[in-house]
Amino acid sequence: MRYDTLIRNALVIDGSDRPAYPADVALLEGRIARIGDLQGAVAGEEIDAAGRVLAPGFIDVHTHDDTVVIRQPQMLPKLSQGVTTVIVGNCGISASPVSLRGAPPDPMNLLGSQAAFVYPRFRDYRDAVDAAQPAVNVAALIGHTALRSNHLDDLYRTATAEEIAAMREQLRASLEDGALGLSTGLAYASAFSAETAEVLQLAAELSAFGAVYTTHLRSEFEPVLEAMDEAFLIGRQAKAPVIISHLKCAGAGNWGRSPQLLASLEQAAQEHPVGCDCYPYAASSSTLDLKQVTDAFRITITWSTPHPELSGRDLMDIAAEWRTTLLDAARRLQPAGAVYYGMDEADVRRILAHPLSMIGSDGLPEDPFPHPRLWGAFPRVLGHFSRDLGLFPLHTAVHKMTGLSAARFGLKQRGEIREGHWADLVLFDPARVRDVADFKRPQQAAEGIDGVWVNGVRSYAEGQANGRRHGRFLARQGDLREGFNG
């Protein structure tokens, strides 16, 4: 037997949360063909891992990479972290199915300008991903706000029965064409007016497909527990699994409440499939939200359409220079993006370490001065949180970004190193791996990621993408509820 690739002397962390073990791994025709002592085997390409870790490629379960996978298919911010699959369409915003009549409403503008929204049907988006051949695999959710933008003349009210029927039809067609489920961004003004009943009626489409409900909660501030209850109610009634997006305690008045949030999540999990994702930073980022403007913590401006020169500056300094209030300055900067230093580190660690949490970057690829999570989230969990702080073992860190994520989103034959699985792999040095991107210089590749394979093809090595792009569109497979057992 001659293999395509043979990776010798690896320390395999297989993604299942079991500890590392030494092995050779052979790849053939895009898949993992053999794992074990393969001394006599031959291959077209042989790599000596020299005891470094070989893990399943990381799955970024929370991204806004919808349009960037098509426009910049090299996907360097993700590939350089060891990410081999991205899930797009989070927080109620998706590139499809969308037919815009003007500029994209906030926060759909996080995905690009009006020109980026050219997929009136989910099938069009799927075809465009296939044609672009991105370097990473892509699976997609359908955004509630995106559906609203198609059918409501005014986003600041709840939908009528006719509008809900029209949205349901588009959601159903998208699920038939392989979407993973429905996402909402109820905290944003463009969806906040949607009553629970509106979301419930849309979510009613999910169970026939075994599809998932993911949600950027209606509030991450003081009413966060009530917002979680709303999410669980929607999931239970719709018979759909619930993933809470970027679970956090936002706002100084909310710090220290993560045990309550996690207790609520655990309790819900006893009766219903639920989980959450989170990113490993105590600062959030999104569009500049006037409701979140405060002097209780630092806010930096990442982009501003009227004032692009102020990217990277503190809102407080801008307001002082303009001799005005924070709120007035924020108004004058709109539309804009911001980083909010609004979380407590202890809460972040507690949520990150919880067995129900997966890692998702929530990176914003369109941002000219992005939150460093875009380039650093996964190595930061491996290096800073697992190795340096000892928050959890390395194999648990890997599980939270591979096996657990693949199970929750029904990504079959991915997320674990097993014979027969797709060869999405990352080779990294556990002693060197670290995030380099920070809030001052946010666009820097991680260190210690020494090789990345996507569907069996090495696409990143020696700190460089090599131009090979072998990602695929991953349509929903089977019933996602099955991935929540155990």
Nearest-approach distance from CB 246 to Zn ion, in angstroms: 6
Q: How far is CA 172 from CA 167, 176, 177, 232, 330, in A?
A: 9, 6, 9, 21, 39
Type of residue found at 389: L
Q: In this complex, which beta carbon is closest to Zn ion, that of residue 139 or of residue 310?
A: 139
Q: Considering the complex, state which of residue 78 and residue 216 has its C-beta at the smaller distance from Zn ion.
A: 216
Report, in Å, the least distance between residue 64 CB and Zn ion.
Answer: 8
Q: Which is nearer to Zn ion, 189 or 465 (CB)?
A: 189
Nearer to Zn ion, 351 or 427 (CB): 351
Residue 31 or 216 having the CB closest to Zn ion: 216
DSSP 252: G
Kindly write down the DSSP assignment for every residue of 290-318, as one continuous string. Answer: GGG--SSS-EEEEEESS-GGGTT-BHHHH
Residues that bind Zn ion (CB under 5 A): 91, 216
* CA atoms of 229 and 23, how far apart (whole Å): 45
Least distance between Zn ion and beta carbon 91 (Å): 3
Supply the minimum distance, in Å, between the C-beta of residue 184 and Zn ion.
Answer: 10
Distance, first Cα to last Cα, the chain: 37
Tokens describing residue 271: 């009766």
CA distance 167 to 152: 10
Q: Minimum distance from CB of 273 to Zn ion (Å)? A: 21
Q: Residue 115: which residues within 8 A CB-CB, separation 6 or more?
A: none
Q: Which is nearer to Zn ion, 91 or 244 (CB)?
A: 91
Angle between the N-to-C axes of helices 258-271 and 224-238, in degrees from 0 to 180, rounded to the nearest 10: 10
Residue 36 phi, psi dihedral angles, 5° rounding = 155, -155
